[in-house]
Amino acid sequence: MAKRDCYEVLGLERTTDAEEIKKAYRRLALKYHPDKNPGDKAAEEKFKELGEAYEILSDPQKRALYDQHGHAAFDRRSGGFGGGGFHDPFEIFRDVFGGGGIFEDLFGGGRLDPTRPQRGNDLRYDMEITFEEATRGCEKEITVTKPQVCDACRGTGAEPGSRIRECPSCGGRGQVNISRGLFSIAQACSRCQGAGRVLDKPCRPCHGEGRRELPSKIKLRVPAGVDTGARLRSVGNGEAGLRGGPPGDLYVVLHVQPHALFQREGDDLLCEVPVSFVQAALGAEVEVPTLNGPSTIKIPAGVQPGTMFRLKGKGVKNVQGYGHGDLHVRIAVEVPTRLSAAQRAKLQEFADLCSGKENPLSQGFLERARRMFQ
C-alpha cells in the first residue's frame, strides 16, 4: 500500500518552515491521539502516520532525502541503515509535548499510564571500522552491556514464589490526585513509585526492577559503501522494556578510519600518485592502486603536476545500490633530490640546451609579471 505524501499528511506546503511543521503536528497529534479516540483504529493509524511524517520533515537531513527521493529513500534502507527506521509515534508525541503532567490529565492516564507495559529505551553504540570494511562491507560482532530482562525473576521484579499485590495507596493506578485550589494534579504514587503494585519480596539480583545490566553479543552486517556518520539499526537490541513492554532498538554509529592512500568524497575516491621528473617529461605507463588491486594508466609526455585522470567505476560501491563511484588520480611530479655529480652535470647540460620554449607556463608567467611593472 502506497504511503501518503508527508506534507499532505500534515496539511502543509513543501516550502513550510520547521516551526509550522511542529505546530501542524501538535494540532493534529492532539486530535488523533488514541487515548482521545479509544477503539478508533482509523485514528490510531492516522496518529502513527502523523508521527512518521513529523519525524521525516522535522529532521533536516531526512527532509532533504525525502524531498529528493520520497518514501523510497527510506524503503531502500529497510535494514535501518542511515536512519531508515522510525521511532515509536508515542515517543515522538512525548518528545514534542514533554510528556507527563497536563497531558496525562488530558488523556486520563491512557497511553501514558505508568502501570502499562513500557518500551525500552533506544541505545547508541559508536563503532570504528577500517576503510576496507566500509567500502567492501563486513560482518561484525559487538558486546553491549545494557538493561535486560532479569533471568532470576523473568521480568516480574519479585522473588520466585512471592506475591505481587496491587498498591493499596493508589489502587493500582500508579498515581494519586492532589488538590491544589481549583486544580487537581496527578502525581506518581510515592509508595509504589508509579508502578501500581508492591512486591512482598523484591528480586535480589535486579532489586525489584525486573531488569539488570548484562552483556549481550550482537552480530551486525555492515553494507558496502557506508561512511562515517552512517547508522545501523539493530531492531530489538536496545534496553529491555518494563512490565512486559517491547525492547528498544540499538543504533550503531559508524566511524571509518582514514586510509593511507585514498581520500573519499561521496562515492568517489581521490589518490595522489607521484611520478618522476623523467616520467612526466617523456610520458609513461604508471601503476595506480584501486580497491580491487593495481591498475595502469598512461600519462602523456609533458604532463603537469595536478593533472587529474579518472578511472570510471573504480570508486566506492553506492550503499543504495546505484553502481560505483570513480577513482580520480592526481599526478604529483617529484623533484629529484640527493643528485650525484654525474646527474647534476647531465641536468646542467639539459638546461643549457633549453631555450625557454619547453616551459610555456613559466614564460607566460614572466611575461605577465613584466607587464605589471611597465
Tell whether the model's pLDDT for residue 258 goes beyond 90.
yes
**Which amino acid, residue 355?**
S
Identify the pLDDT of residue 113: 55
Q: Above pLDDT 70, what percent of the chain?
A: 90
> What distance in Å separates the CA atoms of residue 327 and residue 261, rounded to the nearest whole number?
12
CB atoms within 10 A of CB 21: 20
Q: Which of 248, 243, 247 lies closest to 157 in space, CA to CA? A: 243
Note the pLDDT tens digit of each residue in 80-129: 434 445 677 877 887 787 554 444 444 444 444 555 778 889 999 999 99
Number of H helices, E strands in the chain: 11, 15
Identify the pLDDT of residue 177: 78
DSSP summary character for residue 317: B
Mean pLDDT, residues 186-205 taken together = 83
Mean pLDDT, residues 200-204 taken together = 90
Mean pLDDT over each residue of the chain, to the nearest integer: 85
Note the pLDDT tens digit of each residue in 342-365: 999 999 999 899 887 877 777 777
Identify the pLDDT of residue 77: 42
Burial of 109 (0-12, 13-18, 19+ CB in 10 A): middle
Q: How many CA atoms lie within 13 A of 71 on its CB side?
A: 11
Burial of 94 (0-12, 13-18, 19+ CB in 10 A): middle
* CATH placement of domain 262-372: 2.60.260.20
Residue 175's pLDDT band, with cuts at 50, 70 and 90, is confident
* CATH placement of domain 113-163+200-257: 2.60.260.20
Note the pLDDT tens digit of each residue in 310-343: 999 999 999 988 899 999 999 999 998 889 999 9
Mean pLDDT, residues 118-147 taken together = 94
What DSSP string describes 191-260?
TTTTSSEEESSB-TTTTTSSEEEEEEEEEEEE-TT--TT-EEEETT-SPPPBTTPPP--EEEEEEEPP-S
Tell whether the model's pLDDT for residue 131 goes beyond 80.
yes
Identify the pLDDT of residue 245: 86
- Give residue limits of the domains in the chain: 1-111, 113-163+200-257, 262-372
| Grid cell at residue 313 | 567505476
Let me know if the fold of 113-163+200-257 is the same as that of 262-372: yes
Identify the pLDDT of residue 172: 81
* CATH placement of domain 1-111: 1.10.287.110
What DSSP string describes 142-187?
EEEEEEEE-TTTTTS-B-TT--EEE-TTTTTSSEEEEEETTEEEEE
Tell whether the model's pLDDT for residue 154 goes beyond 80.
yes
| Grid cell at residue 319 | 550503499
> What distance in Å separates the CA atoms of residue 256 and residue 142, rounded to the nearest whole number?
16
Residue 187's pLDDT band, with cuts at 50, 70 and 90, is confident
* Lowest mean pLDDT across 131-140, 156-165, 298-307, 334-343: 156-165
